[in-house]
Amino acid sequence: MDECVYLKPGKEIPVLRRHPWVFSGAVAKLPIFEEGEILPICSSKGERLGWGMFNRRSSIIGRMVSFNPSATRDEIIPQAISDAVNFRLKWINGGSTTAYRLVNAEGDGLPGLIIDRYGDYLVMQVHALGIERVRSKVIETLIKLLNPIGIYEKSNSPSRRQEGLKDRLECTYGTVPARVIIQENSLKFSVDFVEGQKTGLFLDQRAMRERIGELAKDRRILNCFSYTGGFSLYALHGGAAFVDSVDISEKAVKGIEENILLNGLGDAKNWANHATDVFGFLKENPLDHDLIILDPPAFAKKKQDLKNACKGYRDLNRLAMQKVKEGALLLTCSCSQHLDEECFIKIIFEAALEAGRSVQILEKQRHGLDHPVSLFHPEGSYLKGLLLRISD
């Protein structure tokens, strides 16, 4: 029986260009198969192009896991995990940094799979039915490669539900504590990957946190949407004169103080934490800071949210730009996947015009080595950041 997925004439071009998504409109013929199964994919002329996970419940009917037609189906996932993990073990400093991403979905050729390391523990997120089907093999491979004390699965995304899957929040291997202490560039963080945001810490901002630490000496810093104080901690460690941290979550704000004390940075009391709404804080305070960080949660979690998200980003940045002092720096970020970099820069342009300020781009976002983006899948570049200088 022919098990190949056949594409319509001309629809093989994205696959030949190594884009990992196959939409339902590109498919001419499907074999009999179980949802989530890994199947060979062929052009309209019958030429094999690679392998993909297929799920008729999703608008992205196929997710490519190999562009090698001769790959062995059962070895594709374990080999891709091994390649991703070994790359991190070679290039990430496991001495001073013990928390980092091991598998970054399409960026590592594994659509629908995120794996983060927190010292001796792993946190796994499964967003695609195809990965769900080989879940036991994923766990087996991770145990073989890393021998973790425990693996916690935190699979509760909207994309998972779109794939027809229920949420899963549980320890899937070994034992997992409620909280773990990790190191990032020798700084210590108390991480709750069970109840915390994402997998516990925003690992994707590590490189920019480090950059803020380099710029902080003798300067006043305002960290908005601070969560448990990643940027704040780096700023204090870098010698900041004073750091204000603002987050609407009282629990997150308590976590900032915990992390400050954990690193022995609390004696000078050159910091203040504010459990309040960021927009209100920006409106009500003079903003006499040398460097402001705006790193909000995703304003656009769905395409339908994009219009309101653009307004939210514009209003937020305009507020900061209007009041920030001459020559101050502003790090502004967006983690909304549906908002590309070009559109984000346009929003910041509009905010600067409305604020009546001159703005220079000094640097753009730096991704850590543990968050690779496939050159053939620009949609994977969800995190945008601009380091700006504001003047009159």
For residue 193, being part of any structural domain is answered with: no
Residues 211 and 276 in one domain: yes
For residue 192, being part of any structural domain is answered with: no
For residue 190, being part of any structural domain is answered with: no
| Residue 121 near residue 151, CB atoms below 8 Å | yes
Residues 239 and 387 in one domain: yes
| Residue 7 near residue 15, CB atoms below 8 Å | yes
Average pLDDT over residues 109-126: 97
- At 300 the pLDDT is 63
pTM: 0.94
For residue 188, being part of any structural domain is answered with: no
| Domain final position from 129, 149, 180 | 180
Residues composing the chain: 392
**Any idea what the CATH number is for the domain that residue 370 is in?**
3.40.50.150
Residues 105 and 51 in one domain: no
Q: Which residue is catalytic, options 171, 310, 335, 343?
A: 335
Report residue 367 as tokens. Answer: 């991704």
> Of the given ranges (117-121, 221-225, 301-305, 368-372), which has the lowest mean pLDDT?
301-305
387 pairs with which residues across the strands?
331, 363
- At 6 the pLDDT is 97
Q: Is the pLDDT of residue 306 over 90?
A: no
For residue 88, being part of any structural domain is answered with: yes
| Domain final position from 71, 89, 105 | 71
For residue 191, being part of any structural domain is answered with: no
Residues 42 and 113 in one domain: no
pLDDT tens-digit map of 142-152: 999 999 999 99
Report residue 118 as tokens. Answer: 């927190």
104 pairs with which residues across the strands?
114
Task: Find the domain containing 369 and state its range.
Answer: 202-391
Residues 166 and 81 in one domain: yes
**Any idea what the CATH number is for the domain that residue 106 is in?**
3.30.750.80
Residues 11 and 27 in one domain: yes
- At 366 the pLDDT is 80
User: Given phi > 0 = left and psi -120 to 50 = alpha, else beta, which region is 305?
Assistant: alpha
Residues 309 and 368 in one domain: yes
Of all residues in the chain, the percent with pLDDT exceeding 90 is 85
Residues 256 and 363 in one domain: yes
Computed over every residue of the chain, the mean pLDDT equals 94
- Residues in contact with 385: Cβ distance below 8 Å, sequence separation at least 6, in sequence order: 208, 295, 331, 332, 333, 334, 364, 365, 366
Average pLDDT over residues 318-344: 93
Residues 47 and 83 in one domain: no
C-alpha torsion 119→125→130→134, nearest 10: 40
Active site residue 335: yes
What is the domain count for the chain? Answer: 3
pLDDT tens-digit map of 155-204: 998 888 888 899 999 999 999 998 999 999 989 999 998 888 889 999 99
Residues 25 and 143 in one domain: no
- At 1 the pLDDT is 45
pLDDT tens-digit map of 257-293: 999 999 999 888 899 999 999 999 999 999 999 999 9
Residues 84 and 150 in one domain: yes
For residue 153, being part of any structural domain is answered with: yes
Question: Closest Cα partner for 119 from 141, 90, 152?
Answer: 152
Q: Are strands 48-54 and 60-66 parallel, antiparallel or unpaired?
A: antiparallel
Residues 270 and 125 in one domain: no
